[in-house]
C-alpha cells in the first residue's frame, strides 16, 4: 500500500471556537455623531425662547389638565408645573451630555480603543455646563424669562450625573467582555492539555 492510499488518522483534538466579538466593520464618520448632538442643542435653544416661557406653557398645560380632569387647584398646579419644568431641565441636559460624549468618542480616538475615556467625559460635561450657562444668560434678555444660577447648577448636575451613569454602564460592559475572554483562555488551556495527553 502506497502512502497515497493510507487513510489519515482522525484528529481527536477538541475543537475550540473563539468567542465572537461583534465589531462595526464600517464605522460611521465622526461628523455623523455630531448630528444628534447638534439637533438636541437646537431643541434646547428653542426651549429658551419666549414661546416656551413658564407663563405660556403653564396656561396651555392648565387648559389641557382642566379639560381632561375638571377643576384643578391653581396652587397645586403651579407646584407641579414648576417640578415638571425642572424635570425637563434635568432630562434635556442629561441627554445633551450623553450625545456630546458619543460625539467626542468618535472624534477623539484614544489608544487601545476603550469604551470609556475620562477625556471624552470631561469635555462633554464642560460643553454641557457651558451651554447651560449661556442658556440662562440668554434668558436674562427675554422679558418673559429669567436667568437663574440655580438652573445652571441643576443642569450641570444633570450633565455630571449622565457621565457617571455612562461610566457605570460601560464599565459593566467591559467587565462582561473581559470575563468572556477569560473563560475562552481557560477553555483553550484545558483543550491544549487534553490534546497533549491524547498524543502521548
> Per-residue DSSP letters for the chain?
--TTTSPPPP--SPP-PPPP----SSPPPHHHHHHHHHHHHHHHHHHTSGGGSHHHHHHHHHHHHHHHH----HHHHHHHHHHHHHHHHHHHHHHHHHHHHHHHHHHS--TT--S--HHHHHHHHHHHHHHHHHHHHHHTTSTT----HHHHHHHHHHHHHHHHHHHHHHHHHHHHHHHHHHHHHHHHHHHHHHHHHHH-
- Rounded Cα distance between 159 and 163, Å, is 7
177-200 burial code (b ≥16 CB/10 A, e <16): eeeeeeeeeeeeeeeeeeeeeeee
What are the pLDDT digits (tens) for 50-88? 999 999 999 999 999 999 999 999 999 999 999 999 999
pLDDT score, position 112: 82
pLDDT score, position 16: 46
pLDDT score, position 173: 73
**Per-residue cell: 82:** 414648576
Task: Sketch the domain layout of the chain as residue ranges.
Answer: 85-182
49 or 187, which is more confident? 49
Residue 7 has pLDDT above 60, yes or no: no
The half-sphere exposure of 29 on its side-chain side, counting CA atoms within 13 A, is 3
What are the pLDDT digits (tens) for 100-142? 999 999 999 888 878 899 999 999 999 999 999 999 999 999 9
N residues, the chain: 200
Residue 25 has pLDDT above 60, yes or no: no
What are the pLDDT digits (tens) for 137-172? 999 999 989 889 999 999 999 999 999 999 999 987
27: confidence class by pLDDT, cuts 50, 70, 90: low
pLDDT score, position 111: 83
pLDDT score, position 36: 97
Report the Cα–Cα distance between both ends of the chain, in Å, rounded.
27
Amino acid at each position: 500500500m502506497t502512502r497515497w492510499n493510507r487513510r489519515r488518522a482522525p484528529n481527536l483534538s477538541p475543537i475550540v471556537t473563539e468567542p465572537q466579538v461583534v465589531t462595526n466593520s464600517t464605522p460611521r464618520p465622526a461628523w455623523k455623531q455630531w448630528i444628534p448632538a447638534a439637533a438636541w442643542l437646537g431643541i434646547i435653544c428653542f426651549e429658551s425662547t419666549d414661546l416656551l416661557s413658564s407663563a405660556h406653557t403653564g396656561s396651555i398645560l392648565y387648559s389641557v389638565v382642566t379639560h381632561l380632569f375638571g377643576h384643578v387647584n391653581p396652587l397645586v398646579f403651579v407646584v407641579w408645573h414648576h417640578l415638571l419644568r425642572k424635570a425637563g431641565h434635568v432630562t434635556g441636559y442629561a441627554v445633551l451630555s450623553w450625545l456630546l460624549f458619543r460625539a467626542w468618542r468618535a472624534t477623539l480616538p484614544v489608544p487601545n480603543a476603550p469604551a470609556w475615556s475620562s477625556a471624552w467625559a470631561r469635555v462633554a460635561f464642560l460643553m454641557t455646563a457651558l451651554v447651560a450657562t449661556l442658556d440662562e444668560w440668554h434668558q436674562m434678555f427675554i422679558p418673559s424669562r429669567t436667568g437663574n444660577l440655580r438652573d445652571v447648577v441643576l443642569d450641570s448636575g444633570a450633565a455630571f450625573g449622565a457621565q457617571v451613569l455612562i461610566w457605570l454602564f460601560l464599565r459593566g460592559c467591559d467587565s462582561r467582555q473581559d470575563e468572556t475572554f477569560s473563560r475562552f483562555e481557560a477553555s483553550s488551556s484545558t483543550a491544549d492539555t487534553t490534546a497533549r495527553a491524547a498524543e502521548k
